[in-house]
A and B are shown apart, each in its own frame.
Chain A
Amino acid sequence: MSLTTEQVRHVAHLARLGLDEVQIDSLSTQLGDILGLVDALSKADTASVTPMAHPLDMGQRGRADVVTESDRREAYQAIAPSAQDGLYRVPRVIE
């Protein structure tokens, strides 16, 4: 299983990871090895196996629809890089 450097660049961009050329080369090999390992699973016959969405064989429990959280904005914004008038400040985003 091999991964092209182009694919690695694309995935790195999607994940917003800044990689240099050396890292891209080595990661192509390493990620290819990991995929190769996982690919071994495709040799198993899974025709009769139901796909699993979660390792725990349980169903999700529903929570009661009740407001339990209080306003802790001050505490959360004290550790934010930047906040003003109750808003978190970020570099401008506009469409």
Chain B
Amino acid sequence: MNDTAHCIPDGWEAVIGLEIHCQLSTQSKIFSGSSTAYGAPPNAQASAIDLGMPGVLPVLNGEALRMAVMFGLAVDAEIAPVCVFARKHYFYPDLPKGYQISQYELPIVANGHLDITVGDAHKRIGITRAHMEEDAGKSLHEGFVNESGIDLNRAGTPLIEIVSEPELRTPAEAVAYMKKLHQIVVYLGICDGNMQEGSFRCDANVSVRRAGTTAFGTRTETKNVNSFRYVEKAIEYEINRQVEVLESGGSIQQETRLFDPSTGQTRAMRSKEDAHDYRYFPDPDLLPVHCGAQYIEDVRATLPELPVDKRARFERDYGLSTYDATVLTGERPLADFYETMVAEAGGEAKLCANWVITDLLGALNKAGLEITESPVSAAQMAALIQRIGDQTISGKIAKEVFEAMMNGEGDADAVIEAKGLRQITDDSAILAVIDQVIADNPKQLEQYKGGKDRVLGFFVGQVMKATGGKANPDAVNRLLKERLGPPGEA
């Protein structure tokens, strides 16, 4: 058993497909001129169109279309030359029209794929389709007795629903796929990726079958899971639940389930016998959408460098390890920070990578800050690297300078001056300290002359201590050896 499949009972295989809803970062809604900003007072951003008032006419937001096309191109999918909006009918209070405008037979994006890595294994996952649709509103229950409150600010927010092929086999693969997709939509700038606010959420279709068989088992759909960890737990729970049911002679009901993070379990939603009888038909309020070859090429020209290409370039051009390149290209702002820093520092790509990954990310993590909120800019980091390069300070003192910079005590030069951290490279100054240290430690001098060469390290340490770590370590070593001569020569 390998560790990615440890949660799947022996003799069974899981079949997982994900439907991911991704809110597009437009200013206005997909079919109306209402704002999509998060956190407004309830219903302050719900216009007549969002409320489904009679006589209104939805008009497609061109930017939502452009973003959907960008996504399709980023996952090597086909962009439909003609796509059609359809009405999906169901009754729910957060859907005032009684139908959601979605796409059914002719979605904008089809037949793409995404490459994922779990451990050392690489796998290509098919993306069946991605379609544009409008989000629904929200139901609130707290503070009401036998009633619910409806907030329609979210109604009409543009979404793309991205449907994977049922090619995922473990919860770890499902999470790897979801993370990769998240990274891409954030890189593209088409989604803010904020999972707490529901900008990126997942429905997981899960079924199980005996290992070695090919027919699909009956699947369940676990709705609206909004964190990577919950997706992993929900799928893991669902796999084990289904295997238990089947092994004890039961059968799986095709149903919609909800994941409860507090128990780590999924439970069936109140049954809707006709939940999937949506009676789709083309929306007569909206014309078919044409995407010509020129339009598609224009959108393609605006695609930013994608994570996989950026990582390869970082390895090639900066000579970084796969690990370093993967970390640095994990988020676009981090990659940009690093590239600015290397350019400003005039090279030292590997040293810059070490400082960003170990020191900067460590300090930001501790302070609970994102890279975009870093108190130290890329240019300031570069200046620090340059002071190491020109021997103004040692790498060790640089850590102290960096800490002060993070505390807002100014840039590298100001901190070095204020704290008197300039490295002592002047031989005569270092020699004076060396002579003093030798004079103060006759016993160790005796040992050294007796042949104990390890005592050299003691002297180096004493000199560094006496200079407050400011002496250039190479110069100290060289000068000490000159002064003391080879060990054992009394």
Asked if A54 contacts B65 (CB within 8 A), the reply is no
Which residues of A from 41 to 77 have beta carbons under 8 Å from B?
Answer: 53-54, 56, 58-69, 71-73, 76-77
Asked if B46 contacts A89 (CB within 8 A), the reply is no
- Residues of B in contact (CB 8 Å), total 56
- B62, CB-defined interface residue at 8 Å: yes
Give bound CA distance, A88 to B138, whole Å: 11
- B91, CB-defined interface residue at 8 Å: yes
Number of A-B contacts (CB under 8 A): 133
Asked if B148 contacts A93 (CB within 8 A), the reply is yes
- B369, CB-defined interface residue at 8 Å: no
Question: Considering residues A60, A71, A89, A94, which has the most beta carbons from chain B within 10 angstroms of its beta carbon?
Answer: A60
* The stretch of A18-26, A31-39, A79-87 that contacts the partner chain: A79-87
- Tell me what chain A mostly uses at the interface: helix, strand, loop, or mixed: loop
Binary A-proximity of B41-82 (CB < 8 A = 1, otherwise 0): 111111110010000000111111110000000000000001
- Tell me what chain B mostly uses at the interface: helix, strand, loop, or mixed: loop
CB-nearest residue of chain A to B66: A62
Give bound CA distance, A10 to B277, whole Å: 10
Chain A's interface size range is 35 or more
Give bound CA distance, A64 to B147, whole Å: 38
Asked if A86 contacts B33 (CB within 8 A), the reply is no
- B139, CB-defined interface residue at 8 Å: yes
CB-nearest residue of chain B to A16: B91
Asked if B34 contacts A67 (CB within 8 A), the reply is yes
Residues in A neighbouring B236, C-beta threshold 8 A: none
Residues in A neighbouring B377, C-beta threshold 8 A: none
Which residues of B from 257 to 276 have beta carbons under 8 Å from A?
Answer: 258, 269-270, 274
- A40, CB-defined interface residue at 8 Å: no
Contact of B62 among A56, A63, A77 (CB under 8 A): A63
CB-nearest residue of chain A to B64: A65
22 chain-A/chain-B pairs, Cβ below 8 angstroms: A10-B274, A16-B91, A53-B82, A53-B282, A59-B289, A60-B60, A60-B286, A61-B62, A62-B63, A63-B28, A65-B26, A65-B61, A67-B28, A71-B45, A72-B47, A73-B43, A87-B43, A87-B151, A89-B148, A90-B150, A94-B148, A95-B258
